[in-house]
């Protein structure tokens, strides 16, 4: 069963992202220090501050969801429908009121994070793996810049 409640609101989606992303402990995306404290919030997302390098970040920083104009709940729903039901971006544009261009850009990034050409997002395990790999790719990219 897919945890459909994550689509209900951006807060629900944010909560899942927070749980999955940091399940092995909080870590600074910049310097990898684990000396991190909670530091207010950024909209629905928990914000943090690294005590080592002083950088602030939130649950989305360094993932493919960072700086998205589309809410995380809608993005997850879009990825899910694309993979599971072979929906088109045009359909999603009309049905959940997201911008075609923004969604297209995120879908391209999403596709690049997937090592397998096809992925079935059928349950929490796959969603976990997806988050973790998206997060790792983000950190690698951050590192190389
Ligand atoms: Zn740091």
Query: What's the pLDDT tens digit per position in 122-131?
Result: 444 455 555 5
Please report which confidence band the pLDDT of residue 121 belongs to, taking 50, 70 and 90 as the band edges.
very low
pLDDT tens-digit map of 86-110: 888 888 888 888 889 999 888 888 8
Using the mean position of ligand 1's atoms as its centre, give its distance from the Cα of residue 64 in Å: 20
Using the mean position of ligand 1's atoms as its centre, give its distance from the Cα of residue 142 in Å: 12
Using the mean position of ligand 1's atoms as its centre, give its distance from the Cα of residue 135 in Å: 16
Using the mean position of ligand 1's atoms as its centre, give its distance from the Cα of residue 144 in Å: 15
Number of domains in the chain: 1
d(CA 52, CA 63) in angstroms, rounded, equals 21
Question: Would you list the DSSP string of 96-110?
Answer: TT--HHHHHHHHHHH
d(CA 47, CA 68) in angstroms, rounded, equals 16
This prediction's pTM: 0.74
d(CA 49, CA 63) in angstroms, rounded, equals 17
Domain that holds residue 8: 4-144
């Amino acid at each position: 069963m897919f945890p459909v409640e994550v689509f209900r609101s951006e807060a629900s989606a944010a909560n899942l992202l927070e749980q999955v992303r940091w399940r092995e402990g909080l870590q600074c995306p910049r310097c990898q220090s684990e000396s991190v404290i909670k530091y207010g919030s950024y909209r629905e997302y928990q914000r943090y501050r690294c005590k080592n390098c002083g950088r602030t970040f939130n649950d989305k920083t360094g993932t493919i969801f960072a700086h998205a104009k589309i809410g995380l709940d809608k993005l997850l729903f879009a990825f899910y429908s694309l993979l599971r039901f072979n929906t088109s971006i045009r359909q999603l544009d009309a049905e959940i009121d997201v911008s075609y261009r923004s969604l297209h850009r995120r879908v391209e990034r999403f596709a690049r994070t997937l090592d397998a050409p096809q992925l079935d997002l059928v349950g929490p395990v796959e969603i976990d793996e997806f988050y973790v790999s998206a997060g790792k790719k983000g950190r690698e990219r951050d590192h190389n810049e």
